[in-house]
């Protein structure tokens, strides 16, 4: 059996440039962007993360361009996403991996059930006990769950924390949504994902073409809902298996891509 050779980096870059050119010419476009690891380099303190200045400038230019929508699609709670994106009140934000939605000034109520509230309380207790017992870990409280951060630990210690977090969460519920991110393990009582968020954005903006870029395994839910045959573009940032049809190396490469796209979109006929 003969295997189809993988495209070379040059062939991939040419294919992405061609796809971006076609995307820039579409009537109504939506850029849906993951935040951490895509626009913003990783830092030890989550609230200190900021998009690279080149990306921020390109996104501001895109937002000023007619029929062009920019949205942030993140695992962060909306309250945190608002701070790190420095978004204005008209911004389109999807937080908590698709659970929280803020389209401009329209907020969204989560309407947690009594059972969900009770599960959240117990989950918070057992995970807080865990992080209290392991120096260097930190509990991030989210509207529908919790994230255990372990970026400051050695690899084997981090793996041990993840194992213990699974065990602790299992004592509370066997129906939690679990997400294994970059130096964070998250447990949630709601199962929406970034794909749901992108579909809501697509409907809200009536975009003909959607570009989504993300670096983490949780972004695969976003790539899954893209319609490549209609001109959508999925870009995986960094290494790892992916459903996305294109790949960029890091946040700097994303910034360069956004800068080119902003220019192409602004100068379209």
Ligand X SMILES: O=P(O)(O)OC[C@H]1O[C@H](O[C@H]2O[C@H](CO)[C@@H](O)[C@H](O)[C@H]2O)[C@H](O)[C@@H](O)[C@@H]1O
Tokens 């959607």 correspond to: 210
If one asks whether residue 206 binds ligand X (CB under 6 A), the answer comes out as: no
Q: Is 145 exposed, middle or buried (0-12, 13-18, 19+ CB in 10 A)?
A: buried
Question: Binders of ligand X among 61-120, rule CB under 6 A?
Answer: 74-76
Residues 246/19, Cβ–Cβ less than 8 Å: yes
Taking the complex as a whole, how short is the minimal distance between the CB of residue 263 and ligand X, in angstroms? 25
Out of 61, 102, 149, 202, the residue judged to bind ligand X by CB under 6 A: 149
Sign of CA dihedral 142, 155, 135, 131: positive
Residue number closest to ligand X, CB atom: 75
Closer to ligand X by Cβ: residue 24 or 130: 130
If one asks whether residue 246 binds ligand X (CB under 6 A), the answer comes out as: no
Taking the complex as a whole, how short is the minimal distance between the CB of residue 74 and ligand X, in angstroms? 3
Q: Where are the alpha helices (DSSP H) in the chain?
A: 9-24, 53-64, 78-85, 114-133, 155-170, 194-205, 220-224, 251-266
Q: What does the block give as tokens for 116? A: 């969900």
Taking the complex as a whole, how short is the minimal distance between the CB of residue 165 and ligand X, in angstroms? 14
Question: Nearest-CA neighbor of 212 among 203, 225, 193?
Answer: 225
Candidates 32-40, 85-93, 108-116, 157-165 — which segment interacts with ligand X by CB under 6 A? Answer: 32-40
Nearest-angstrom CA–CA distance, 135 and 187: 20
Across 249-264, b (16+ Cβ under 10 Å) vs e yields: eebebbbebbbebbee
Out of 36, 220, 232, 251, the residue judged to bind ligand X by CB under 6 A: 36
The CA-CA-CA angle for residues 24, 27, 29, to 5°, reads 60
If one asks whether residue 140 binds ligand X (CB under 6 A), the answer comes out as: yes
Question: Binders of ligand X among 159-188, rule CB under 6 A?
Answer: 181-184
Out of 55, 98, 131, 147, the residue judged to bind ligand X by CB under 6 A: 147
Taking the complex as a whole, how short is the minimal distance between the CB of residue 252 and ligand X, in angstroms? 15
Closer to ligand X by Cβ: residue 44 or 115: 44
Taking the complex as a whole, how short is the minimal distance between the CB of residue 177 and ligand X, in angstroms? 12
If one asks whether residue 34 binds ligand X (CB under 6 A), the answer comes out as: yes
Closer to ligand X by Cβ: residue 100 or 232: 100
If one asks whether residue 152 binds ligand X (CB under 6 A), the answer comes out as: no
If one asks whether residue 42 binds ligand X (CB under 6 A), the answer comes out as: yes
106: helix, strand or coil: strand
Closer to ligand X by Cβ: residue 35 or 187: 35
Nearest-angstrom CA–CA distance, 243 and 212: 12
* Residues found near ligand X in the complex (CB under 6 A): 34-37, 42-44, 46, 49, 74-76, 140, 147, 149, 151, 181-184, 216, 218
């Amino acid at each position: 059996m003969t295997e189809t050779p993988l495209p070379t980096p040059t062939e991939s870059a040419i294919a992405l440039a061609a796809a971006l050119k076609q995307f820039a010419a579409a009537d109504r476009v939506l850029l849906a962007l993951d935040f951490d690891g895509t626009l913003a380099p990783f830092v030890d303190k989550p609230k200190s993360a900021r998009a690279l200045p080149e990306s921020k400038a390109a996104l501001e230019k895109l937002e000023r361009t007619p029929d062009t929508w920019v949205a942030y699609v993140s695992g962060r709670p909306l309250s945190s996403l608002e701070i790190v994106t420095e978004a204005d009140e008209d911004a389109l934000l999807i937080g908590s991996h698709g659970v929280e939605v803020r389209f401009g000034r329209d907020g969204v109520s989560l309407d947690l059930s009594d059972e969900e509230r009770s599960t959240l309380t117990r989950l918070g207790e057992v995970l807080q006990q865990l992080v209290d017992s392991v120096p260097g870990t930190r509990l991030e409280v989210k509207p529908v769950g919790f994230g255990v951060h372990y970026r400051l630990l050695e690899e084997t210690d981090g793996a041990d924390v993840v194992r213990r977090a699974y065990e602790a969460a299992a004592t509370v519920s066997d129906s939690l949504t679990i997400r294994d991110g970059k130096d964070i393990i998250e447990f949630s009582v709601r199962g929406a994902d970034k794909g749901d968020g992108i579909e809501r954005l697509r409907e809200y903006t009536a975009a003909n073409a959607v570009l989504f870029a993300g670096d983490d395994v949780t972004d695969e839910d976003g790539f899954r809902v893209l319609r490549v045959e209609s001109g959508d573009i999925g870009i995986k940032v960094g290494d790892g298996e992916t459903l996305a049809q294109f790949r960029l190396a890091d946040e700097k490469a994303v910034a360069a891509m956004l800068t080119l796209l902003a220019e192409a979109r602004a100068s379209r006929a």
